[in-house]
Structure 1
Amino acid sequence: MAELIQASSSVSSFESSNYEVFLSYKWEDTRNNFISFLHKALKDSGINVFLDSKELWTGDAIGPAIESAIEGSKIWIPVFSSGYADSQWCLWELAQIVQCHRSNDHRLILPIFCYVGPYDVQHQTGSRFEKAFQEHEKKFKPDIVKNWRDALELVGNLKGEILDETK
């Protein structure tokens, strides 16, 4: 992931972002349903929200823009879905969120568990999370994978909103 960020030489328009909320989510799982509704509800309430598909411009360096948006946000909302751990970008975002959270305890992480349980996030269990990490362990250095696992464990242990078939 660091290689992807360093490889990009574009200057981002996010050098000093100040978002109230940063949404982290797996595009394919939640973009056209839950995230769209959540984003609209937050924007309609006057909340300044970072949503990558709305805020990034063609030519922006993706990694630095997202990192700046994370650092400049007051609240982070990771929306965990069954495919969240498949995405190295989602895991990288979450690790960045946790790093910022640890350095400034005035900001909040408000997790949403969308058809996935907190236990599966915390322990990387369940077929998709387990399988995703088996693949990540083949492709990435152990310290990167450990950082991702630690971030999932910390955030999976936070009180969050659980969305399932009953809600």
Structure 2
Amino acid sequence: MASSSRNDKKYDVFVSFRGEDTRDNFTSHLCSALCRQNIQTFIDDQLNRGDEISESLVNAIEASAISVIVFSEGYASSRWCLDELVKILECKKEYAQIVIPVFYLVDPSDARNQTGPFGISFSKLEERFKENPEKLQTWRKALKEAASLSGFHSLNIR
């Protein structure tokens, strides 16, 4: 078992999402449903955005038993989202955190391979970070890993 047990967790679920794409629709409904079931849920609606993933966000990810990643069309255009994703996958390895991908109007293979509309979003980020190929490779690897996990596709379920 991992070094951190379920009992040390402050949150049951951490939700990673791109606010512009899903905050006022899918993500708000998901969080409402979780809260109605008394599931302690963390979303980043009160954090200030900056260049680096904030310490409070890192702490929230580490303090969660489960992370839900809502892959939307614009998810891969956000450095913030991709830094969250890398941290979530680190916690999966280090603390055996459960990670559940949700593909919101995105084909899982597009997220996995950075193709289609999802790939177009990632290419916008690539333009901004072309001087940092190591960071881009880290994000590509994280996207491939997370999108390869068993999850939910919004076109197949309600």
Q: TM-score, normalised by structure 1?
A: 0.80
Preserved CA contact (<8 Å) 1:56 1:62: no
**Cα distance change on mapping 1:137 and 1:39 into 2, 3 Å:** same
2: CA distance, partners of 1:114 / 1:33 = 11
- What count of residue pairs does the alignment treat as equivalent? 146
Q: Secondary structure at the match of 1:132?
A: helix
Structure-1 separation of matches of 2:19 and 2:91: 23
Among 10, 22, 27, the alignment partner of 2:14 is 22
User: Match of 2:89, as an amino acid?
Assistant: V
Shift of 1:134: 2.6
Counterpart residue number, 2:94: 103
Deviation at 1:166, TM superposition (A): 7.0
Corresponding residue of 1:133: 122
Which residue is 2:3 aligned to? none
After superposition, the C-alpha distances for 1:34-54 in whole angstroms (9 at most, x for unaligned) are 11111011011111110111x
Aligned partners of 1:88 and 1:104: how far apart in 2? 24
| SS of equivalent to 1:146 | helix
Aligned residue runs from structure 1 range 1-167, under 5 A: 18-53=10-45, 55-56=46-47, 63-105=54-96, 107-127=97-117, 129-140=118-129, 141-164=132-155, 167=158
Deviation of 1:132 after TM superposition, in Å, equals 2.9
Secondary structure at 2:88's aligned position in 1? helix
Q: Could you tell me the percent identity over the aligned residues?
A: 39
Partners of 1:115 and 1:165 within 8 A in 2: no
**Structure 1 unmatched ranges of 5 or more:** 1-15
- Gapped runs of 5+ residues in structure 2? 1-7
